[in-house]
Amino acid sequence: MLGKGFSMSGVYHPYARLQFAPSPPKDLTWSLPVRTFFLMRTTLSATAVCVTLVLCSCETVPTTTFGEPNMGGPTREQRKASIASEETGDFYIGRRYHVNRTWWWGYLRRPREPWSRARLVVFNQGIRRSPDNLPQTGPAGERYAYDHNYEYRIWGDFTGEEVYEPNSNQFLPEFRLREYELLKRDGGWLFYPSDHYDPYRLTLKP
């Protein structure tokens, strides 16, 4: 039901409120005071700049929800210089990466390439067994995955096949191992200084 009201003449009229209600301006923005309009534009511009900066920072500074950095290692500059000075040849640089209940070996990359180009692989050990091909219940230093985060020089080749790793639900490239040589026992962080290693889930990715 419509509300009651009075006309301008003081005579009761049931539609007085509707008849004399002010109409909104056609252009609300230009009807605002100049100072208010300026402040609104300035605020919107500042917000756009902040959003742009945040998006750019996300591209250059990776963030993680896995936890605090816990792998240690060199600075970015030191890592970059170390990779640039690597010996080259027909081999790969490998980093052992172990997560409980998974059967991949770790990451492989070519010498002088950044770790961001590395591939997570499963070893074919028909020719040569991996360094940690040992019982899981052996003594310290002589059991499966004892060499987590060790860095190696790896010889071999990709077979062109993919292997299903069920516990991580991934199809990973198969690499036929021929030989290896230990380079470092503690490689430090792998992809970023902010890397967080968790032995129960895959947290290290390019």
Question: Where is pLDDT greater, at 145 or 43?
Answer: 145
Report how far residue 131's alpha carbon sits from residue 106's, in angstroms, rounded to the nearest whole number: 12
What pLDDT does residue 67 have? 86
More reliable by pLDDT, 127 or 9: 127
- What are the distances in angstroms from CA 205 to CA 37, 161, 191, 193? 47, 21, 7, 13
Question: How many Å apart are CA 162 and CA 179, to the nearest integer?
Answer: 21
**Where are the chain's structural domains?**
16-60, 76-184
Instruction: Give CA–CA dist 13/86, Å, rounded.
Output: 93
Are the C-beta atoms of 180 and 152 separated by less than 8 Å?
Answer: yes
In the chain, the percentage of residues whose pLDDT exceeds 70 is: 68
| Sequence-separated (6 or more) residues with CB below 8 Å from residue 90 | 155
